[in-house]
Amino acid sequence: MTKKVAGLNARRVQTETKPGYHCDGNGLYLQVSSTGTKSWIFRFKSPITEKTREMGLGSTTTLSLALARERATLQRRILLDGLDPIDTRKASRLERKTAAARLLTFEQAATQCIAAKRHEWTNAKHADQWTSTLKTYAYPVVGALAISAIDTAAVMQVLEPIWVSKAETASRLRQRIEAVWDWSKARGYVDGENPARLRGHLDKLLPKTAKVKRVQHHPALPYGDINAFTQLLQMEKGVSPLALEFLILTAARTGEVIGARWGEIDLHAKVWTVPADRMKGKREHRVPLSTRATEILTALKGQAEPRPEMFVFPGWKSGTSLSNGAMLALLKKIERADITPHGFRSTFRDWASERTAFPNETVEQALAHTVKNQVEAAYRRGDQLEKRRKLMDAWAQYVAAKPKSVASSEF
């Protein structure tokens, strides 16, 4: 029995057993949905799986019967070659997608790479540092190039101008370009060897960084001047001077101090416990607090009991900590821009080495340095808290004493 369908050749149309399907012949069907929408379907037996498959060709609103027949004819030609039309179409779409992806610029790839890696970085500043380095040195040279066009010559064009003059920056820049390229390769945007890899590649073209790099230590205050400096510091008002003095007394890093929260402080036990996620070595660090360090905390605490999540050294905006540059700004204000907050760790280290007999292991633990020797690290179980308490008390006494009245300490 035949049934007329608008626009179809009635002589070639027959009612299908499948509801809503109307055959035009040679595998072409008009599909009418329960809501009344109409589309063209090509039904065929896959030469690969020998199963019947259905391939959508398009809606009747955009594809006429004549065009639908042409498309069905194209699919039958693919079948003659022993290929599955659906698999062939998927492969073609993937190829076009890959070709388009290869036009992704280096800057676009880097932006996506940074966004993907942001979740693995514990410090939010890493994303800013990556972006800043690439924006300053890489984007002006290769930012607009397709990521697939980045080769050794392009990488060298970025690195060579600063490889010697800014060795540390250039080394980090190379690592970031290498990471962006590896990310792009994992996404299928590029293939082959990474043009920014160092070992066995760029190390044959560029001078060794160890020979051109000069380690620049943070400018530090001589330990003999520490008393005069802290007296000057105590004349200043505000949170920054207290934070800097606390940093000096604890030999801690800037980020550890400004990120300190009241929940980490035990005034009764006189211990500050810095959680692992805020430590450079990713290990919890207990800091014994001297009397003066405790006095600073008591002054900041005031009459009210602060909530555990509140910052010990708050910023000017509610709920924020002291900014990363606050101590640097303070040093500039008191005309000591020649030194840095981090340099006070060197001041403490020099004092401990030259004026005391505390074991090197105890001093290194006070600085929360990572033990590079794996055997030594395996046997070092405790954190020598009580030994370090004596060390930090001695340091606090030295900081508070007049230089002439400080005799050589032997502990």
Tens digits of residue pLDDT in 300-315: 988 778 999 999 999 9
Q: Which of 12-16, 181-185, 272-276, 327-331 has the lowest mean pLDDT?
A: 12-16
Tokens (6 digits) for 301:
């605490």
What number is the average pLDDT over the span 25-31?
91
Q: Give the pLDDT score at 36.
A: 86
Tokens (6 digits) for 366:
């006070």
pLDDT of 104 strictly over 90: no
Q: Give the pLDDT score at 98.
A: 64
Find which of 28-32, 47-51, 95-99 is predicted with most confidence, using mean pLDDT: 28-32
Tens digits of residue pLDDT in 321-378: 999 889 999 999 998 988 999 999 999 999 999 999 999 999 999 998 865 544 444 4
What number is the average pLDDT over the span 180-207?
90
SS (H, E, C) the chain: CCCCCCCCCHHHCEECCCCCEEEEECCEEEEECCCCCEEEEEEEECCCCCCEEEEEEEECCCCCHHHHHHHHHHHHHHHHCCCCHHHHHHHHHHHHHHHHHCCCEHHHHHHHHHHHHHHHCCCCHHHHHHHHHHHHHHHHHHCCCEHHHCCHHHHHHHHCCCCCCCHHHHHHHHHHHHHHHHHHHHCCCCCCCCCCCCCCCHHHCCCCHHHHCCCCCCCCCCHHHHHHHHHHHCCCCCHHHHHHHHHHHHCCCHHHHHCCEHHHEECCCCEEEECHHHCCCCCCEEEECCHHHHHHHHHHHCCCCCCCCCECCECCCCCCECCCCHHHHHHHHCCCCCCCCCHHHHHHHHHHHHHCCCCHHHHHHHCCCCCCCHHHHHHCCCCCHHHHHHHHHHHHHHHHCCHHHCCCCCC
Q: Give the pLDDT score at 219.
A: 78
pTM: 0.51
Find out whether 196 and 147 touch, Cβ atoms under 8 Å: no
Tens digits of residue pLDDT in 362-375: 999 999 886 554 44
Average pLDDT for the chain: 85
- 218 confidence band (pLDDT: 50, 70, 90): low
- 217 confidence band (pLDDT: 50, 70, 90): low
